[in-house]
Structure formats: C-alpha cells, structure tokens
Chains A and B, each alone.
Chain A
Amino acid sequence: MKYRAGSVMRLAVPFRALTQRFAFLFLILAAFGLMMIGKAETLLVERVRTGVIDVVAPIMDVLSRPAAKVTAFVDDMRHLTELRSENQQLRLQNTRLLQWQEAARKLSTENATLRELLNIVPDSRVQYASARVISDSVAVFARSVLINAGGRHGVAKGQAVVTGEGLAGRIISVGDGSARALLITDLNSRIPAVIEESRERAIVAGDNSGQLRLTFIGRDNRVELGNRVLTSGHGGAFPPGLPIGVVSQIENGVIRVQPFVRFDRLEFVRIADFSRVIGAEETPTDPDSGIP
C-alpha cells in the first residue's frame, strides 16, 4: 500500500509541475490572444467590457461621490484665502459681462427679425443628457472616463461629450447604464475642426499629453497664436462650433492647441445628441432633460 502511494506521488509531482507550467503558458497566450482579438474584433470585446462595467458602475458611482466631496472641501479651503481678490475680479468681470449680455440681447432680437425676413428654417436644438464622471482614466497610455449614463438615457456611440468649457471627448462604448468617453487628449482621438478666425479646416489630434496637435492643415496656413479652435461639424458626429481649445504654440510647423476643458476637474459632463437633429424631424425639447 505504502509503495503504491509512493509511486503515485512520484508520478503526480512532476505532472502537477507540468500542468502548472502549462497553465501559465496558456494564460500568457490568452492575454496575448485577447490583445489581438481586441485589436481586430473591437465590437465583441467592447460588448463584454461594457457588460462588466454596467455591473460595477453603481459601486463606482457611490465611491466617486465622497471623493468628489473631499476634493470640493479641499478646494473650498484653498479658495477661502483668495476670496477677496477673486471677489474683486469677479465684480469687474460681471460689469463686463453685463455689457456683453446687452449686446447679445440686441443681436438676438436682430437675428430673430432677420431670420423672419428671410424665412430661414430654424435649427432644431441639440438634445443634451447630463452625467457624472464615475471613473478617471488611470491608465498611463490611455485617456478616457466612465460616465453614469448609458443607452437607457439615450446615450449612443459617437456622441459629443461637452462641459461648460468646451468639448471633452466622444462616446466610444455604451452599456445600459454607463458609457465610456474617449477624451480628446487620447492618442486615438481625431476631431474635425475649424479655426475660428481664418475658417481653415484641420484635424485636432490627441497624443496622450495635456495638449492637442493640429494636423491636416496646409503649410501656408494663417493660424496664429491665440486663435480659437472649434469643431467643424464635418462627418456629422458633432455639432459645429463647439469650442475645443486655443492655439498655444507654433513651432517648426507643429501647431499645439491648449484644450479649454480642464480634464483633472471633470465631474459633470453633458452628452450632446446631435445625430437626432440631422434627421430632419424637429425635436425641440428641453436641454438638460434626462438627468440620471
């Protein structure tokens, strides 16, 4: 009996080592295979990914709230010291803005009268859904965020993600109650854009740094420092005229754009459903409806 047990053991130990080694090799191959599949069969991989994220999104949502509270508190403390100077600055800005408001009112009424005269079909309004950022991009080589709105709230792939400051990114995958937005600073982000002043078209590309690069623009362009860069609306995915950033550096033909959105401060974003507006039917609904 003893002898037999021993012989089994003598066989079992190397066998176990072999299976372990085999399992390890298998896992390495699986990781490699997944990367290959992810590159070729993006749809399938995205579906699995969004499925999983949908399940954990509520947990992340809950977790992101106290974190946001703490940062807000720290911010408050910091701003407390600068209150006086900030107040003064805001007062100045307020008088200036009131003048602008006056101008805008005048222009708005003038615009309405002129439109009436010309019988222009009005642009139907872009519908927005608001959402909260529940996960940061913590990857070294990717820039994206998770938001807590998904297909259930009318979010769809390709829609523009904006903040009050400007364009932040676009939706790349949608789950039922969550979605992932690729930020404009990501390596894979390409946004059709137009220079506000000269109306030249270009592509705004991300490269994982804090700044963007202006590409596909002619050598003899008239871009200058401080020019604003807006979405051009070409390709139909984005509404035209969303502010992207401002030209911050021109060096050896490389044009850099500083985005308006402060990505480390992303908390609430709006998702612009522009595609619905293109399909002639008019849907003049409230902006900011469907807040999850």
Chain B
Amino acid sequence: MPLELLQRLDRLARNLTPLTLTFLLVIISATPLRIPDFGPVAPNVGLIAAYYWGIYRPDLFPAVAAFAVGLWQDVLIGTPLGMNAMVLLAIHWFILSQRRFFQGKSFAVVWWAFALIATAMAALLWLIAMAYHARLLDATPAAFQGVLTVALYPFLTWVFARIQHAVLRQA
C-alpha cells in the first residue's frame, strides 16, 4: 500500500514542522549580523517557539521537544550543555500547568503573559549561570535580551501562525 505509506510520511513531515522550524530558526539566530553590541543580547527564538507551540500545539511540541531545542541552542551557542534545556523545560511545564488560562485568550493577553514569562526566564537563566560559574554576573544583558525577545514575539508568532495554518490545518 504505497499510497498509505506516502500519506503517513506526509503526516509525519507535517507534524514535525514545529520542531524542524525551531531548529532552523536557532541556526539562523546564531548567524553573525555584526550589529554593534547585538550579539550577546540577540533575542532568544527558542523561548518564543517553546511558548507558542506549547500553547497552540502541545501535541506536536512535547517536553522532549523543548529539551531538544534547548540542547540544540546550548550546542550551537556554546553555553554550558543543559542550561537552555532547563529554561525551556521550565517554560513548558509552566504552560502545561496553566493550560486553562491560555485557552481562547486574545493575542494581547498571550503576549502580555509571554512578557512576564520571558522576564522570569531571564532571571532563571541569570541564576543558573551564576550557580554554574559560581560568580556574581551582571544581569543587564539578560534583561536586554528579554526585552528584545518580547519585541520579536509578534513577528515570529505571525510566521508561526501562517505556517500552522498552511501546514497543520488538517492534522
């Protein structure tokens, strides 16, 4: 039954879209843009992806996916392995525990919630980094990154929504 096999492959490819897309975005976000002082505070696309897919398609973006994306960021960026994985898992857990809250909420509310979560995650990353390096670190870059990530959220989620609409409609 070759047709059924093809259908299955098609379904699999569609279902893997959120994850593959996020992996690609992480690679793109690591590309040097050579904007002065931008590198260290470049927005965290993994955070946006884990948040968006965690709310709208948690079936296609389980905890393992959040873990994998975080690990992928750690490998590419050069942060200690597991640091971003931990942060994305935390965000995933939070969204799952608050599923009721997110259901049917308007974009503005979801964005506002994201701003709060991004702030909490920046603080968490800062704490983990300090614990890891056993040293006091300046929190300013983390705060800036948080702001930029929140600013990027509408653009990136617009792309996500488009793709979700085009690829995952029937799934």
On A, residues with C-beta under 8 Å from B are 20, 23-24, 27-28, 30-35, 37-39, 45, 49, 52-53, 56, 59-60, 63-64, 67-68, 71, 133-146, 180, 187-188, 207-210, 263-267
The chain A residue with its CB closest to the CB of B40 is: A140
Evaluate contact between A266 and B63: CB separation under 8 angstroms.
no
Asked if B107 is at the interface of the complex by the 8 Å CB criterion, the answer is: no
Chain B's interface: helix, strand, loop or mixed, by majority? helix
Whether B77 and A139, one on each chain, are in contact in the complex, defined by CB atoms closer than 8 angstroms, is: yes
Q: Is the CB of A136 within 8 A of B75?
A: no
Once the chains are docked, how many angstroms separate the CA of A38 from the CA of B84?
Answer: 13
* Complex-state Cα separation, A59 to B20, whole angstroms: 14
Chain B interface residue bracket vs A? 35 or more
Binds A, one of B5-13, B30-38, B49-57: B30-38
B156 at interface, CB cutoff 8 A: no
Q: Which residues of A contact B36 (CB under 8 A)?
A: 264
CB-defined A-B contacts under 8 Å, sample of 18:
A31-B83, A45-B81, A49-B81, A53-B76, A60-B30, A68-B34, A135-B30, A136-B39, A138-B29, A139-B79, A140-B125, A140-B141, A140-B145, A141-B79, A146-B78, A188-B133, A264-B35, A265-B34
Which residues on B sit within 8 Å (CB–CB) of A24?
63, 89, 93
Binding site for A on B (CB under 8 A): 27-42, 63-64, 67, 70-71, 75-83, 85-86, 89, 93, 122, 125-126, 129, 132-133, 135, 137-138, 141-142, 145
Given contact pairs A31-B70, A208-B137, A134 touches B63 in the complex (Cβ within 8 A): no
Q: How far, in Å, is A213 (CB) from chain B's closest CB?
A: 13
Closest 8 CB pairs of A and B: A34-B82, A136-B32, A35-B82, A31-B82, A31-B85, A141-B129, A31-B86, A138-B42
Residues A33 and B28 in contact, CB atoms below 8 Å apart: no
Query: Is A135 in contact with B64, judged by CB distance below 8 angstroms?
Result: no
The main secondary structure of chain A at its interface with chain B is helix
Select A38's contact among B31, B63, B81, B135, beta carbons within 8 Å: B81
The docked-state distance in angstroms from the alpha carbon of A180 to that of B81 is 15
CA–CA, A155 and B35, complex, Å:
28
Q: Can you name the residue of chain B whose Cβ is closest to the Cβ of A28?
A: B89
**Is B80 touching A135 in the complex (CB atoms < 8 A)?**
no
A23 and B63 contact, CB distance less than 8 A: yes
CB-nearest residue of chain A to B28: A63
**From A146, A264, A266, residue with most partner B Cβ within 10 Å:** A264
CB distance from A5 to the nearest CB of B (A): 23
A39 and B29 in contact, given A27-B89, A136-B42, A264-B37 (Cβ under 8 angstroms): no
- A105 CB to nearest chain B CB (Å): 36
Q: Is the CB of A63 within 8 A of B37?
A: no
How far apart sit A251 and B63, CA to CA, in the bound complex (Å)? 49
Whole-angstrom CA separation of A137 from B27 in the bound complex: 12
Query: Which B residues lie within 8 Å of A31 (CB)?
Result: 67, 70-71, 82-83, 85-86, 89
Tell me, in angstroms, the Cα distance from A34 to B151 when the chains sit together.
Answer: 31
* Shortest distance from the beta carbon of B54 to any chain A beta carbon, whole Å: 13
Contact assessment for A39 and B34 in the assembled complex, using a CB-CB cutoff below 8 Å: no
Instruction: Select one of B39, B75, B138 contacting A138, CB under 8 A.
Output: B39
User: Which residue of chain B has its CB nearest to the CB of A63?
Assistant: B31
CA distance A38 to B137 in the complex (A): 20
User: How long is the Cα–Cα vector from A31 to B126 in the complex, in angstroms?
Assistant: 16
Contact partners of B78 in chain A: CB under 8 A: 137, 139, 142, 144, 146, 180
Q: Please measure, in the bound complex, the distance between the C-alpha atom of A27 and the C-alpha atom of B88, giving whole angstroms.
A: 11
Complex Cα–Cα for A208 and B130 (A) = 13
